[in-house]
Amino acid sequence: MRQQSAKNQKIQEEIRKRLDAGEWATGVPLPPARELAEEHGVSSSTAYRILVRLVNEGLLWQHSKGRFYAAEARHLVDTVQPFACMLPRLQLWSLVLQEIMHGVTQRSAFYKRGTLLIHNPALILQVDASSQPRYADAKVQTGILEEFFSTHADSCEGIIFDNVWRDDVLAKFRDRLQRMVVINRRTELDFVSAVYPDFDRSALLAFAHLHARGFEKIYFISTHDDYYVQQTMAAGTAVAREIGAAFDASCIRRPRAAEERAAFVQELKKSPQRVGIFSPDDNWSLRFRTDLEAAGVYCPGKVGLLTGIGTNAVRGDRPLSTLVVDFEQMGELAVDCLRAEQARQQTVEVKLEVGVTT
């Protein structure tokens, strides 16, 4: 312990000497805690505590991004910076993104910050709303972020990522920008905030509603291979078992292309049971109701159809039964997370609106 204490004291003394020499006074950041740790043979947490101690003594200043600077360099570095939004041009989510961005811009204005909207077409490839999106793999996502950090990172206070971004990719950039938040999904990263619908409540509302309406079998429709759908499905599976609904792995279906939807309609038409369907995507639900009606299968007599987002597209004269997610609130909470000192996990309220399809 005495050896460790002496080593820590030596690190502090070295930093003090370099500060006195004005090495970092021009706004150049100190080395990250990990580099200091490797250089001096201590743990990253020890190196970080040493830096924080010097902040408390007034010798260093920590930027909102997490990097440490000489205290006198603060006026050179601490400028008002916008929040960056790394969101895709995905036709499927166009209405959702409008609501999220309204919340983001309103909350950013409250904090007197601007927003920088970054679209990279390589993140998601989708021809139109009726075609299946193809998501960028880890290598492509890493390249997108490398490009972003080389051009914009120094001018942004934090980044908002949507649900298609991978945790293993974000983990690579931990030292590049401390303030990150993902929306529409949970995250396993302890340094990244997350704002998402209350998946457990969503599942309870959806499956309990269909079960209570007398649908003998319930299908969950996996519309896309992204975190949002996966986490919604996981919560639904657990809830279905708890309430005793007829639901197992065979009830998770992926009828995405037009011909797959048509085959699924015929399967339902021949089924002796009344079937309830929960899809977390409004676009798919609208198209499937059209498929059902074209085949002479009507809701809610034979099939109950519940959609999972609640955009204006599923409302109107013949509204679909839907879960409603407050995406504007999601955008506001995302900005609040970027202003917080520690990473947060926050949920957004979900409500059920019963339409004509259940």
What are phi and psi for residue 261, nearest 5 degrees? -65, -40
- CA-based torsion, 203, 208, 210, 216: positive or negative: positive
63, 77 contact by CB (below 8 A): yes
CATH code of 2-77, in short, is 1.10.10.10
Q: Are strands 217-221 and 193-197 parallel, antiparallel or unpaired?
A: unpaired
Q: According to the model, what pLDDT value does residue 176 have? A: 80
Q: For 199-325, which CATH superfamily applies?
A: Response regulator (3.40.50.2300)
pLDDT band at 337 (very low <50, low <70, confident <90, very high): very high
Per-residue pLDDT averaged across 315-331, rounded? 94
Q: According to the model, what pLDDT value does residue 152 have? A: 74
> What is the domain partition of the chain in residue ranges?
2-77, 83-197+328-348, 199-325
- What distance lies between CA 64 and its chain's CA centroid? 21
Q: For 83-197+328-348, which CATH superfamily applies?
A: Response regulator (3.40.50.2300)
209, 321 contact by CB (below 8 A): yes
For the residues of 210-268, what is the DSSP string, one character each?
HHHTT-SEEEEE--SSSHHHHHHHHHHHHHHHHHT-S--GGGEE---SHHHHHHHHHHH
- 164: which 2 tokens? 């298609």
- 210: which 2 tokens? 């269909």
pLDDT band at 186 (very low <50, low <70, confident <90, very high): very high
What is the value of pTM for the model shown?
Answer: 0.74
The per-residue pLDDT for range 104-131, each reduced to its tens digit, is: 999 998 988 888 887 777 787 765 656 6
| Domain 2-77 identical in fold to domain 83-197+328-348 | no
4 has pLDDT over 80: no
299, 292 contact by CB (below 8 A): yes
